[in-house]
Amino acid sequence: MEVSQVTVQMVDTMFFLLGILGFIAVTGLLLMKRWGFWVTLLVSAATIVFDIWGVTIQYTAAIGFVVPVISYLMLGARKSRLQKIMR
């Protein structure tokens, strides 16, 4: 299936933005900042939404669910404990 140039540019832009936000989130988590926790959840949710859209274009985009879903579930399960130790 042929993908339009606009779609390719949109995918590239989203990958770039999610990548930059991911680096910001990881920095916050490594520094044990409360905002790092929330940015990580936000980036994970945005990535899941983006991958849902991606699956409509190419089914192999489903592999993109793995890391954000695991991150979201792990942080969600440890939310109360992490909130106590983060500044």
Per-residue pLDDT of 61-78, as tens digits, reads 888 889 899 988 888 888
pLDDT of residue 1: 65
Fill in the amino acid letter for 37: F
pTM equals: 0.80
3: left (phi over 0), alpha (psi -120 to 50) or beta: beta
Q: Please give the DSSP secondary-structure letter assigned to residue 49.
A: H
Domain residue spans of the chain: 5-85
Per-residue pLDDT of 11-62, as tens digits, reads 899 999 999 999 999 999 999 999 999 999 999 999 999 989 888 888 888 8
**Overall size of the chain counted in residues:** 87
Cβ atoms of residues 51 and 62 within 8 Å? yes
Q: Report d(CA 34, CA 22) in Å as an integer.
A: 15
Position 84 pLDDT exceeds 80: no
Torsion of CA 72, 77, 81, 84, to 10 degrees: 40
